[in-house]
Amino acid sequence: MRKYSRRQFVKLAAAGGISAASWMLFNDSILKAGAQESNLNGSDFTESSAFADTSNSNQILVAWFSCTGTTEQIARWITGKTGADSYEIVPEDPYTEEDLAYYTGGRADREQEDASVRPAISGSVENIGQYDVIFLGYPIWHGQAPRIISTFLESYDFSDVTIIPFCTSHSSGIGSSAENLHDLCSDIVTWMEGRRFSGDATENDVVEWIDSLELSESEVQTVGEFNFETKTVLLNSGYEMPIMGLGTYSLTDEECAVSIAALLEAGGRLIDTAYMYGNEAAVGRAVRDSDVPREEIFVITKLYPNQFANAAEAIDTALEKMGLDYIDMILLHHPGNNDVEAYLALEQAVADGKVHSIGLSNWYVEELEEFLPQVNITPALVQNEIHPYYQENDVIPYIQSLGIVVQGWYPLGGRGYTAELLGDEAISAIAEDHGVSSAQVILRWNLQKGVVVIPGSSDPDHIRENLDLFGFELTEEEMEQINDLDRNEKHDWY
């Protein structure tokens, strides 16, 4: 599935689509993950969120130069708030403490006295032309931006780009430091008024400033909010994921391959498997053999607890079994010994580009409260048993409040219970009123609750039916009728 290049989070936040709690976890994920990757040598790096191109939205870059870490912190907060791509402007010849000592005749003093100086930059921004908005950050040196900022601005064509400067200083305002940069770019550049942050600035200060900018909100897609037109949801990792697909539990190799072929032919693009299902190889083969472009297919697999102690090796094994260059998402199958260590290995796999998104399966409120403080990247997904007889109405809102998407396995009740659930009088009556099947009613109920569905089937007709969920909508009364069926009746032990 497509990956947003983090162009939309200013708009997402302005639209009010992400809770404060979600942002706190999301920002923390970015800060820790960014530090963990430590790939900041003048190159664009991916933190825990990124968005794919959309024609009518702003793609954002936060470019910043920092020597003491103050500007870096502000840049990190802006990146977390906006979901932007991030680029650290790194000098080829790093500044030493002596270089930065004021009024000593050191390097920084000499550079600031000579407007023609252009310190060389290590690395460059790839595909600079994709960005519509650039936040440009720097410390104030002798009342002005460091000369390396001039180097950056003269290194690219910023035509039709909006540049939003920000600076850090103990006392000086942004003042003329930003205005004096204008002549370094073409007249086509739009400069917005900048903002100074002091050393004791808080994340809330940054958030309030970004909200005040009121950037364009066209084509807003909110993290965690289902888009019923595209039939996708935007994950906090920045990737789009289909909101309905196929679960492959209990499908043998041949059944699995045939079922996936039917899914893809019918327009489905989400496939869920796991190490313990024993069919990862079949899933990979079906994906590779398909005419559907790889980037349009979203593959989820899971590490089982007996793999946690050697999670890095297990991730490589999954890639090898599937024969894929990357896996869209890997989950931990359920809590177990070494689960934190295994999750940290997943985080490293994200940094290495082996896995795009990571998450958990069979984690509930207490488990999440204990687990999340021990990891760096907020899970993009939590997958739990959810169906009308086991609704998790206390768990789902909690998970969603963290900016995490919820996915339900056993959406039709699971083996041994499906017939009873599909035959439930209340569900059958609603199905009859809409001219659809009971299965479609249950799956649509899930979607309207914000729960991604992955019903399992080896029947091509059922697979097509399970994807046909957008020609009707359940009323609030019908949703409540199904909500009233909750028995807190779990059908598996996880």
Query: Per-residue pLDDT tens for 381-402?
Result: 999 999 999 999 999 999 999 9
Tokens coding 283: 């899933």
Are the C-beta atoms of 288 and 325 separated by less than 8 Å?
no
Are the C-beta atoms of 6 and 82 separated by less than 8 Å?
yes
Residue 424 pLDDT more than 90? yes
Residue 480 pLDDT more than 50? yes
Residues labelled catalytic: 277
Confidence (pLDDT) at 83: 81
Provide mean pLDDT across the span 440-445: 98
**Alpha carbon distance 32, 20 (integer Å):** 18
Confidence (pLDDT) at 316: 98
> What is the dihedral angle through the alpha carbons of 137, 140, 143, 144, rounded to the nearest 10 degrees?
-40
Residue 53 pLDDT more than 50? no
Query: Per-residue pLDDT tens for 163-173?
Result: 999 999 876 56
Confidence (pLDDT) at 58: 58
The neighbour count for residue 188, using CB atoms within 10 Å, is 10
- Helix-then-strand count for the chain, H and E: 19, 18
Residue 217 pLDDT more than 80? no
Q: Strands 327-332, 298-303: parallel, antiparallel or unpaired by DSSP?
A: parallel
Confidence (pLDDT) at 380: 95
Provide mean pLDDT across the span 63-68: 93
Confidence (pLDDT) at 450: 97
**Alpha carbon distance 395, 270 (integer Å):** 23
Confidence (pLDDT) at 221: 56
Provide mean pLDDT across the span 177-201: 88
5 or 75, which is more confident?
75
Cα 173 to Cα 69, 139, 197, 267, distances in angstroms: 19, 11, 9, 55
List the one residue out of 119, 179, 170 whose CA is nearest residue 149: 119
Confidence (pLDDT) at 169: 85
Are the C-beta atoms of 244 and 446 separated by less than 8 Å?
no
Residue 349 pLDDT more than 60? yes
Give CA 111 to chain center in angstroms. Answer: 40
Q: How would DSSP label each residue in 389-427?
A: TB--TTHHHHHHHTT-EEEEESTT--TTTHHHHHT-HHH
Query: Per-residue pLDDT tens for 105-162?
Result: 999 999 999 999 999 999 999 888 889 899 999 999 988 999 999 999 999 999 889 9
Q: For residue 360, which phi and psi values (nearest 5 degrees)?
A: -135, 155
Tokens coding 243: 């909101």
Q: Write the Ramachandran bin of 83: left for phi over 0, alpha for psi from -120 to 50, otherwise beta.
A: left
Model's pTM, two decimal places? 0.63
- The conformation of residue 94, written as its DSSP 8-state character, comes to P
Tokens coding 412: 């039709």
